[in-house]
Chain A
Amino acid sequence: MLIAMLGEAWRAMGANRLRSLLTMLGMVIGVGAVVLMMAVGQGAQYAVKQSISAMGSNLFIVSASLSTTSGGVRRAGAAKITVADAEAMMELPGVEVVGQSLHPAPVQVIHGQANWTASIVGAVPEYLDARSWDVVSGSRFTESDVKAATRVALIGQNVGRKLFGDEDPVGKVVRIKQQPFVVLGVLAPKGQSLDGRDQDDSIIVPLVTAQRKLFGQTGGGINMIMVKAESLEAMPSVEQEMRALLRQRHRIREGMENDFSIRDLTATANTAAETAKVMSMLLGSIASVSLLVGGIGIMNIMLVSVTERTREIGIRMALGAREGAILAQFLLEAIIMSVIGCVIGLLLGLVGAELFRRFGNTTVVVSGGSALVAFGVALSVGVFFGYYPARKAALLDPIEALRYQ
């Protein structure tokens, strides 16, 4: 029975080949768009997740505000975070200053004839753990390097390549601000940070070395301090304490605005993840609209088909077709059209995603799940939009249908 019906549905579609193809095209475009958009959206989410896990957890970034509001005592640009601020923060309970950097003014690093501009990060050994940043060759510096303010450095991938080429940098000496630093190790590649800087252009030196020997000489102003809280739960209280401390140290009176900002990186990351998710949902829903349009196309054609074939339906009823048989006949036709359209759309969507990945330089994630979802949705679209016309056919009055001209 089912095979006979499949054959018949196939023949019915073959009788109007161009029309069936055009109807399927709607489905093809809809499913293709959904697959492609889901791949792009999931790719964006994946990329954000990657950069979040690369960043480390429980981190704050404390930095000077770019400008303070007018009417205040201080003028824009005058605000500064100092080495002394960083040292004071280290005393707070539950707080660990793990790194700080002078980022707007990267410094020149020299080795022999080669030189490169790098941003300096002063850090404690735990900084690498906090950022889950590995040393790929050589070793880290230790707590005693920090205490003794020794001149040692961990250099980023780019720095190593530009200064040393194929040479092994470990154990060599580089000059930073005319001071010799021994390269202890090379950092693993890290790529761009959330604010778009290339982190492979970094050099990490012990925190105290940076404070006393590099940044101290520039008047103690540093661009940002990276602070790690003991735990996720401690973050709100740590933030409050830091704010209170900095307000006090900067002598900010009651009611005045802060001249610094404290960013919770976890929150920032969550926002980024949320944004990516919303974007991917948006893409998905835009694509779903085209799927919907494809479905309406099927419904439209099926309604035309039912009207055209009213007499045929009457004949079938006269020969003993039950409601269910007529319903199944037309429903099957709609489903076949949407499934074929779906399969073609799926393939086109996958091809499109691959093209995006190769030539659009975007992360795309094609999961079996999304293909399955698209397939399921297309099937339901076929059933949903095919049902009304099929039911209309099944409920025809036999004699009315037979008399139809």
Chain B
Amino acid sequence: MSVIRVSDVVKDYPIAGGYYRALQGVSLEIAQGEYVAIMGHSGSGKSTFMNLLGCLDRYTQGRYWLNSCEVGSLSRNELAQLRNRTLGFVFQGFNLLSRMNLADNIGLPLVYAGVSKAERRRRAQALLDRVGLGAYAESHPNQISGGQQQRVAIARALINQPRVLLADEPTGNLDSQTSEEILAIFRQLNADGITIVLVTHEADVAAHALRQVGFRDGRIVRDEPTAEAGRRSPPC
């Protein structure tokens, strides 16, 4: 069964003197446990699409089911709950809160889920250990490197045990060595059963995924499994 089902979605941005159609009717289905890389030129609508998938923005036309629940008809608070419970985000710019230490940053989604402080602390520490930053709970974001910040951001995205992890150019600000480390974490998460959708410009990043979707001018022009998929599940 598919976690994500998008059908003929259109997104118009209001601009001076009319609308700019960033998505011109996109349909896509992603099953539980898939690892999808979205590629395309700059301005082809990748981020726009990701924002819709992440329930951060509303689409103009079409339909979108997340967990067989139609997103278009949900209220702001219901969308907030979906983002909190079902989705995890990893951004290109990390987006950690500089005033809080790393453990509090990771535990932030749990605050909105009403989890107690002790429990937040315990789960944040477990995730910090898992991304290899166990000793940094009390550090602040400006005291660690970009690669480490992105790992903290991943830990934060995972804390509510989401079914889907959405990542818009998560390695865009990182060098290739650090990117590899982040991608290794993603691969592990996917192996654990989490659905991952990531946007990237780089072919070698996309090569880690099991399926590639190509965007051009607000449309999907390509949708195929990668070589990696063939390697993981050989025919017969």
- Which residues of A approach B to under 8 Å, CB–CB? 1, 3-4, 11-12, 15, 311-312, 315-325, 397-399, 402
Beyond A1-B114, A4-B117, whether A320 also contacts B99 by CB under 8 A is: no
Give the distance in Å from the alpha carbon of A240 to the alpha carbon of B168 in the complex.
95
Question: B42 in the interface, Cβ–Cβ < 8 Å?
Answer: no
Q: A1-B114, A398-B56, A399-B56 are in contact. Are A319 and B109 (CB under 8 A)?
A: yes
Nearest 9 A-B pairs (CB), nearest first?
Answer: A320-B84, A399-B57, A320-B112, A399-B56, A319-B109, A322-B80, A322-B77, A320-B83, A398-B56
Q: Is B85 an interface residue (CB 8 A)?
A: yes
Q: A4-B111, A11-B99 are in contact. Are A318 and B54 (CB under 8 A)?
A: yes
Instruction: State whether the Cβ of B49 lies closer than 8 Å to any Cβ in chain A.
Output: no
Q: Which residues of B contact A312 (CB under 8 A)?
A: 97
A311 CA / B93 CA spacing, docked (Å): 12
Instruction: Judge whether B109 and A3 touch: CB under 8 Å.
Output: no
In the complex, B51 has a CB within 8 A of chain A: yes
How far, in angstroms, from A170 to B111 measured CA to CA in the complex?
83
B81 CB–A CB distance under 8 Å: yes
Cross-chain contact of A315 among B97, B113, B117 (Cβ < 8 A): B97
- 8 A-B Cβ contacts within 8 A? A1-B114, A315-B97, A318-B83, A319-B112, A320-B81, A320-B85, A323-B80, A398-B56
Question: Given the known A-B contacts A1-B114, A323-B76, are A399 and B51 also in contact in the complex, defined by CB atoms under 8 Å?
Answer: yes
Fill in one digit per residue for B64-80: 1 if any A CB lies within 8 Å of its CB, else 0: 00000000000011001
Interface residues on B, range: 20 to 34
Within the complex, the shortest CB–CB distance from B67 to chain A, in Å, comes to: 15
CA A12 to CA B54, docked complex, whole Å: 28
CB distance A321 to B80 under 8 Å?
yes
> Known interface pairs A323-B77, A399-B51. Does A318 touch B56 (Cβ–Cβ under 8 Å)?
yes
Find the B residue at minimum CB distance from A319: B109
- Among B97-127, those with CB < 8 Å from A are 97, 99-100, 108-109, 111-114, 117
Q: Is there an interface contact between B57 and A321, defined as CB atoms closer than 8 Å?
A: no
Docked complex Cα distance between A316 and B57 (Å):
15
A11 to B99, CA, bound (A): 8
| Number of CB contacts from chain A to chain B under 8 A | 62
Most buried by A among B76, B80, B89, B117: B80
Asked if B173 lies at the interface with its beta carbon under 8 angstroms from chain A, I say no
- Please tell me if the beta carbons of B108 and A322 are within 8 angstroms of each other in the complex: no
Residues of A within 8 A of B109 (CB): 319-320
What's the nearest-Cβ distance from chain B to residue A158, in Å?
Answer: 71
Provide the bound-state CA to CA distance between A314 and B54, in Å.
13
Of B81, B156, B160, the contact of A322 (CB 8 Å cutoff) = B81
A15-B99 contact given A4-B117, A319-B84, A399-B56, CB 8 Å threshold: yes
User: Which of B77, B99, B156 contacts A319 (CB under 8 A)?
Assistant: B156
Starting from the known contacts A320-B85, A322-B76, 12 additional A-B residue pairs (CB-CB under 8 Å) come to A316-B108, A317-B80, A318-B54, A318-B83, A318-B95, A319-B89, A319-B156, A320-B81, A320-B112, A325-B111, A325-B112, A398-B57
Closest residue to A400 on the B side, CB-wise? B57
Report yes or no: A402 in contact with B99, Cβ–Cβ below 8 A: no
Across the interface, name the chain B residue whose C-beta is closest to A311.
Answer: B95
Given A320-B83, A322-B81, A399-B56, also A315-B95 (CB < 8 A): yes
Q: How distant is the Cα of A311 from the Cα of B84 in the complex, in angstroms?
A: 18
Q: A398's closest neighbor in chain B, by CB?
A: B56
Known: A317-B80, A320-B84, A322-B77. A1 touches B111 (CB 8 A): yes
- Assembled-state Cα–Cα distance A37/B55 (Å): 54
Chain A residues with Cβ below 8 Å from B97 are: 312, 315
C-alpha spacing A318/B114, complex, angstroms: 16
In the complex, residue of chain B having the shortest beta-carbon distance to the beta carbon of A4: B111
Bound Cα distance A318, B156 (Å): 12
Residues of B within 8 A of A321 (CB): 80, 84, 112
Q: For residue A317, which residues in chain B have a CB less than 8 angstroms away from its CB? A: 56, 80, 83
**Bound CA–CA A15/B117 (angstroms):** 22
Query: CA–CA, A15 to B140, complex, Å?
Result: 14
Note all chain A residues with C-beta closer than 8 A to B84.
319-321
A312 vs B141: C-alpha distance when bound (angstroms): 14
How many Å lie between the Cα of A381 and that of B81 in the bound state?
32
Across-interface contacts of A325 in B (CB, < 8 A): 111-112
The docked-state distance in angstroms from the alpha carbon of A311 to that of B99 is: 13
B88: nearest chain-A partner, CB-CB: A319
A321 CB, nearest partner CB in chain B, Å: 5
